[in-house]
Structure formats: C-alpha cells, structure tokens
Amino acid sequence: MAGRLGSLLLLVFQTFAAPPEFVPASDLDPADPLRANGTAVGPSMAPPPGTSQRMPHSIIIGVRKGGTRALLEMLDIHPSVAAAATEVHFFDWDENYARGFDWYRGLMPYSYPHQITVEKTPGYFTSALAPERICAMNASIKLLLILRDPAERVVSDYTQVYFNRLEARKPVRPIEELLVRGGALNTRYKAIQRSLYHLHMRNWLRHFPLEQIHLVDGDTLVRDPLPELRRVERFLELPPRIAASNFYFNQTKGFYCIRSDGRERCLHESKGRPHPPVNGTVLRQLRAYFRPHNRSFYKLVGRTFHWL
C-alpha cells in the first residue's frame, strides 16, 4: 500500500513539474480530452458541441531542435488549426505504436469540421520506421519538416541535454569531449547523426513524394516568422489568417513571441537557451564535415539553404 501511494505521488509530481511538451505520451489517458482550438478540456468536462477527435491531417515530423515547438505554437494561432498538446511519439516508439490507432486518435485535440488537426513529434524524422507507418495510416497526409543550420542544431541538441542533466544533478561533459575523439571528429555522436538530413530524407522519399513534404527554414522562422508561416498556410490549403500583428519581438528573450486572442505568450523558458561557447577549431571542423552532406541534401530536395 505504501509503495503504491509513493508511486502515485511521484507520478503526480512528474506530471505537474514537466512543461506540457515534455509529458510522455505513454502517461496520457486517451479518455481525457486534450483541447479544442487551444481550449483546455478536462476529464469532467464535455467537449464543445460539434467537435470530435480525428486523425491528424498534417504532422510536423522534425527535426529535433529545429524549431518544431515554435512552428506548432505559431500555427495554432490559425482558427482552422487544432494542435495536439504534446509530443505523441506514436510512430517512432514501438510500445506506443502497439497501442493502435484508436489510442493515437484519443490523444488528438477535439476539433471542429472546418479545422485540421496537427501533431508534432521531432523524433519521427530520424526514425527508420516512422515514414512507412505514417504512410500506412494516410498515404496522402501533408508533412512539415523544419530545418536549421546542421552545426547550430548539433550545439542546440547538446545544450538541451546539458541543461537536462544539470537539472537532474547528473554529471555533464564539455561539448568538445563529445564532438572529438582521438583528435578526429566523432561522427558517431548522435547529435551529428541527426543533422545528416539527406540520409533521413531519403527514407521519407521512399514513401512520400517531395510535394507532400514542406520544408520550413527554421533559421528564417526565428528572424522573420510571417513569410514562412504564409508558405505553410498555402501548403496546408488554409485561408491566410496569420498576420504580422500576431508577433512581437521580445528583447529580453531575443526571439519573437505570440499575440493571439488578446493574450501574449512566449515559448517555455527551456526554449532559446544561450548556447555554450564552442572551441573555434572544433566548430570549423564540424561545419567542414557537414558541407558535402548539406550539398547532397540541397540536390535531393531541389532547394538551397544558407548554411555555413
């Protein structure tokens, strides 16, 4: 009895201590509605009349630390978008995929018939199984992929892990120790592997035509969100509703925040953390390693990005 009570208290602490995007999907109860167009719907509340939980019409598939949360939050401004509240990890985690599509649908927000449901899980992009599984669900689904400079993405990836370990009171290592092994670049480092975009993209193109995968420039989205979001609206065949007035630059945080429905909100404090300094020689080595891989990606998608 005492052991069960302790486990219950631990679960309650973990649920309320974590930011919404870090609540594991395996801990969510599909019987508890999530939200409809940004409106919280608790287990004791009836969903708004005329709404239902539907499979996603579009999925943000990645990339990790590319700006997926910012993209989802900005899209959620649109009155015709209903965004899932958490990263579901349905198509990349076997234990969740085994729960079936009804379980997955139960984690989607309640939406009106005129709305599209959007889910985002950055781990899908680098998953070997996610493309085939998503295709089996809906071969005509529209996919969103937000990318940023691969070297910067590596440093951002390290930064997230660094702060997570600090908060868990675990030992941390300088980024140079992870990037370099025996005097050479450690290309087996997972953060580097995640930035080899062309390798992962080829897996997606085995199951989806390029026309169904819209590439969002994450570096541009941070500097000037509206043009990128206008392109996303067109790709999703949404009427243009997101406007410049929906954004304002927060000088303290150093990035754009959102103004919508009379409220102002910024991303969670875990987003936009300053990167640790990286040895200049190591950073140049990292960028040099990515250049041929970046060129392969440009050729694959027929588009060039301004990555160093």
Is 148 assigned to a binding site? yes
Q: What was the pLDDT predicted at 268? A: 67
Is 120 assigned to a binding site? no
pTM: 0.85
Q: What was the pLDDT predicted at 276? A: 86
Q: What was the pLDDT predicted at 261? A: 87
Is 54 assigned to a binding site? no
CA atoms within 13 A of residue 253's CA, in its CB half-sphere:
17
Q: What was the pLDDT predicted at 51? A: 97
Q: What was the pLDDT predicted at 26? A: 40
Question: What distance in Å separates the CA atoms of residue 95 and residue 102, rounded to the nearest whole number?
Answer: 14
> Following DSSP, what letter does each residue of the chain receive, concatenated?
-HHHHHHHHHHHHHHHHS-GGGS-GGG--TTS--EETTEE--TTSPPPTT-EE---SEEEEE-TTSSHHHHHHHHTTSTTEEE-SS---TTT-HHHHTT-HHHHHTTSPEE-TT-EEEEE-GGGTT-SSHHHHHHHH-TT-EEEEEE--HHHHHHHHHHHHHHHHHHTT-----HHHHHEETTEE-TTSHHHHHT-HHHHHHHHHTTS-GGGEEEEEHHHHHH-HHHHHHHHHHHTT------GGGEEEETTTTEEEEEETTEEE---TTTTPPPPP--HHHHHHHHHHHHHHHHHHHHHHT------
Question: What distance in Å separates the CA atoms of residue 181 and residue 161, rounded to the nearest whole number?
Answer: 19
Q: Which of 65, 142, 170, 299 is catalytic?
A: 65
Does residue 274 contact residue 252 with C-beta atoms inside 8 Å? no
Residue with the two structure tokens 């026309």:
211
Catalytic: 65? yes
Does residue 220 contact residue 304 with C-beta atoms inside 8 Å? no
Sign of CA dihedral 198, 204, 208, 214: negative
Omega into 63 within 30° of 0, i.e. cis? Answer: yes
User: Each residue's pLDDT tens digit in the chain (308 positions)?
Assistant: 444 434 333 333 333 333 333 334 444 444 343 344 444 455 557 899 999 999 999 999 999 999 999 999 999 999 999 999 999 999 999 999 999 999 999 999 999 999 999 999 999 999 999 999 999 999 999 999 999 999 999 999 999 999 999 999 999 999 999 999 999 999 999 999 999 999 999 999 999 999 999 999 999 999 999 999 999 999 999 999 999 999 999 888 788 999 998 889 887 665 566 788 899 999 999 999 999 999 999 999 999 999 97
> Residue 179's Cα: distance from chain center in Å?
24
Is 170 assigned to a binding site? no
Q: What was the pLDDT predicted at 41? A: 59
> What residues have CB less than 8 Å from 172, skipping those under 6 apart?
162, 165, 166
- Burial (CB count <10 Å: 0-12, 13-18, 19+), residue 86: buried
